[in-house]
Structure 1
């Protein structure tokens, strides 16, 4: 049984203590393994209309492509198919956005209505996320809770830009205003993410009426640990109401069951991949959500002993990190070095297309993580804060390489300038000349 067929879910929503109607909407389709939370905004119940339209249209669009999603769940390995599913999810959000915007234009009482949206689709061994606004998706894995979506709010934008301190931002009147919403305009920028899911993973989809009262993710631990999912979901609603209940409150708790042996192998490989990437200077300073983004495009490739990884002179577009095994770097007939787990090569291929400067082949059975230039550039284009970190770290890697090259050149100069001790080694040679001097070798021919 695949993970997408082994899911338990628990959903709850409440109007809260201050509102007279609920503008939140949610959707659960167990067969499709689709979970959506939408928090509407707009006067005269327009927010409720917007959130209802969003969940309905997204559901309809994805049901049309059920075969594609199920095929991906069965194949589980084709990167092209994974991108298709992610594109399909984003397309569904854009369809909902256009439909809500059209509805608002047709009815003056609904002008400006829109909704946040956080959607999770599980197909096979992967979870696909689409996100707009300030609802959230949390992930519990191996006892650690992380927020995997980013709030699209004024507060978060000011934090990222670093122009104001947190105390100064707290005084900004519209700090909680959202910067993106589905339906306010005809199109919207959608954050998308693919996560390899594992047995025992738990997801929480929450509107801001809930997570607004969560000061730290540790407060969510008792609810993830509660065996009875219904008690956990209702407990989250009660928590928000006890702390004020100023807004509508919605929570969907999604729990993945136990997998088979293959899932256990995947879990070990995924943990190893994350650890290896995290120790690499290029990715060492990334936060957990950012690391998930990089892991989305990091593909694991296997090589047999003697198999060529890259060939000298060929143009390449991949950075390689050794996950397990050993590879040998050769230039011409000379062995330059051997590279083992945690070490990398080919990073320059991420930023420019140049012929490979050496051949790399597997010495033994090896697994390598490959990050392609096109995927790297896509991260740079879509994740601006992450792009700054990656480029800054990349500069550090290049500076280290330049520093090492400078040291090598300095050592070479010192060797060239070393004292000539030929006369001491060959005291009987004419005027101290070496028996291997060029003119002597010529006469020997």
Structure 2
């Protein structure tokens, strides 16, 4: 049941976000392992709006669905009761999920999108995780998980947030005028071929959730008995019938040199969702007044709060480079930083390659390292090209084949060109 309760907790976060920490959302980008800011054409949407300027002057319709989830501690083979307890002994647990699904219409350097998107992340003290997920609230000292005489579950560490929203967006990109580029290139050996600027406006409407904790529970081992003291709360603030609304912007620049090199910078998810009231609920934990060897879990009744609730989408900074090695092969490198609302910061380093780009079955492969996940991730994907119709598929983490993955990503998309 310990295993079941932990999985339920993880799934709850995923469900909060199942309609966007930093995980790729574009199926092609999932195959590369990252939403590289140097991606262009119909694959720009979650990467860099400046990439829209690289499209051919055609119309296309793209539909897609993608999902990702990760944690920082448990590998894919470690969801057993004993291993979970052991793994959670010394480190705070971070759970995150991101997903998106929808339809995008592209015409020249304009794009219109209608989709659902979501993001969510929660950080918990390891001992708080045990209290929340055990059959009954408790802190265990058995089997060597805890060797001290006392343990304190710090609920103040608990933080996180999530949003699940409908997303209507409009994107536009254009090249910088040639006269400015010519002026910049004057007397320079390394010439800039072109500079593209782009932006996307999103109107979002949906639900938001904020997670927090307060207080602490102390467990002391005395004569083979565990005695509890203290008091703590796990709180969820969430929108109810009235949805949260907000405006969000993506901005980007893409610079091309010598027809082979590209450099890009993008700033994604500038904005927030908010609502004028919310529901507060959660759980309270305290020792039984008649038996302090038992910990009581009391559900906090729903309370409507007439105050504003906000959720800032994870703010993403990207700095990337691309080498078009040949007509068939391209290589990517990127550093990105993700600042989560009510949560920590993630630093991601990514490298990837596109191969057989002119064939009917292009292949792609990539790796990335994320500081929050604390592990390397391996991704792969392919496309199936049929004249004006294309299917893209991507997946990660391929290390699951060797029982060593802390994440899962899947994406599938289709594109019709008119």
Measured against the shorter chain, the TM-score band is: under 0.3
TM-score, normalization by structure 2: 0.19
Write 1 or 2 for the structure with the bigger share of helix.
Answer: 1
- State the structure with more CA Rg: 1
Write 1 or 2 for the structure with the bigger share of strand.
Answer: 2
Structure having greater relative contact order (Cα 8 Å, sep ≥ 6): 2
